[in-house]
Amino acid sequence: MISAKIEKALNQQVQLEAESSQIYLAMASWTEVEGYNGISNFLYKHSDEERIHMLKLIKFLNERGGHGIIPALPQPAFKYKGIRPLFEQVLNHEIHVSTEINKLVDICLKEKDYTTHNFLQWYVSEQIEEEALARRVIDKLKLIGDDKGGLYLLDRDILTLETAVSAGRDK
């Protein structure tokens, strides 16, 4: 059984994961319209992953005697200044998510809720990977600069880059 305090904190995280999913969905749609099919697929996939992060929290809340609340969501931006600012926003957003996960972990320790603490470790590792991936994409975009050919190749290869970062092969 989880405490009311942990339930509230986990529901705030449900909201944040749902917002993440919406933001990446908006980014996916914009990049698709702009003709970046690879980047768009990458963002659609990330949007789906964030929804899974949200679902995992809802299921955990409900299994532990709490209630996962489905939140209302603000409309994300639907236009972006370019691919690099877009990925800078992704990175900043993921850093924000990591900060919130760390706060949650801290609350669990204070409340001596070791079960939820254990459950959250998956999110802690996931955040390391997500931040690393966004940083790698930004590094590549810095190298590319204004080179349209480079951007074309990144758009073509971004899903391969993601596999390499998750496997620890692109450091």
Query: Which positions touch ligand OFO (CB under 6 A)?
Result: 17, 20, 50, 53, 94, 97, 123, 126-127, 130
For residue 138 the two structure tokens come to: 């930004």
* CB closer to ligand OFO out of 130 and 155: 130
For ligand OFO, give the closer residue by CB, 59 or 156: 59
Let me know how many helices (H) and strands (E) the chain has, helices first.
Answer: 5, 0
Provide the minimum distance between the beta carbon of 46 and ligand OFO in the complex, in angstroms, as a whole number. 7
Nearer to ligand OFO, 11 or 127 (CB): 127
CB 155 within 8 A of CB 42: no
Rounded-to-integer distance, Cα 19 and Cα 71, Å: 9
Query: What's the closest the beta carbon of residue 25 comes to ligand OFO, in angstroms?
Result: 13
C-beta nearest to ligand OFO: residue: 53
Nearer to ligand OFO (CB atom), residue 9 or residue 97: 97
Nearer CB in complex with ligand OFO: 120/151: 120
Question: Using CA atoms, how far apart are residues 141 and 134, in angstroms rounded to an integer?
Answer: 11
Q: Can you tell me whether residue 103 is helix, strand or coil?
A: helix
CB 24 within 8 A of CB 47: yes
Residue 123 CB, nearest distance to ligand OFO (Å)? Answer: 5
Calculate the alpha carbon distances from 67 to 1, 59, 60, 126, 134 in Å.
11, 9, 9, 24, 32
Q: How far is the CB of 152 from ligand OFO (least distance, A)?
A: 27
Q: How far is the CB of 32 from ligand OFO (least distance, A)?
A: 20
